[in-house]
Amino acid sequence: MTGKETSASKPVPRPSSESRVFWDGAKEQKLMLPRCKACGQCWFPPSQRCRHCLSDDFAWVQSKGEGRIYSFVVYHRVYHPAFEQDVPYVVAIVELDEGPRLLSNIVGTPPDQVRCDARVRVVFEDSESRVVIPKFAIAR
């Protein structure tokens, strides 16, 4: 993302009661995941029950923020005027080492050099917005 200003502002996620810990963590540059106390697995997006065993006994843990690109697309078309200065940009499904997959952006690498299975690490870009969106950069 270039950070250039446009007349329209980007839509931002609205934290829900289930996702508030995730978004509060992002503001502190932490990638938070719900982790099941019964089976030990993490899941995403946040919900009140484990996706693996349906237990409602879980705690939030900080992810290492490392994983790989499971799949990605390059957006060339401007679907929202606020993204006009950003195209082309990469939208990817990142598979974290803890297991969950997140939809995010790959930043810091030209889109034509992004590849599936590339190792990535979470980055938290400064934002004027009240919501910080975790993004990923290819690990060097």
Give residues in contact with Zn ion (CB under 5 A): 36, 38-39, 50, 52-53, 55
Cα separation, 52 vs 40, in Å, equals 9
Supply the minimum distance, in Å, between the C-beta of residue 55 and Zn ion. 5
Tokens 């996702």 correspond to: 19
CA dihedral 136, 137, 138, 140 (to 10 degrees): -130
Closer Cβ to Zn ion, 5 or 56, answer by number: 56
Contact call for residues 131 and 15 (beta carbons, < 8 A)? yes
Could you give the C-alpha distances from 42 to 8, 66, 114, in angstroms and in order? Answer: 36, 14, 26
Cα separation, 131 vs 125, in Å, equals 11
Supply the minimum distance, in Å, between the C-beta of residue 128 and Zn ion. 38
Closer Cβ to Zn ion, 51 or 121, answer by number: 51
Closer Cβ to Zn ion, 32 or 106, answer by number: 32
Contact call for residues 63 and 24 (beta carbons, < 8 A)? no
Supply the minimum distance, in Å, between the C-beta of residue 69 and Zn ion. 26
Closer Cβ to Zn ion, 53 or 73, answer by number: 53
Closer Cβ to Zn ion, 38 or 78, answer by number: 38
Supply the minimum distance, in Å, between the C-beta of residue 130 and Zn ion. 32
Supply the minimum distance, in Å, between the C-beta of residue 97 and Zn ion. 18
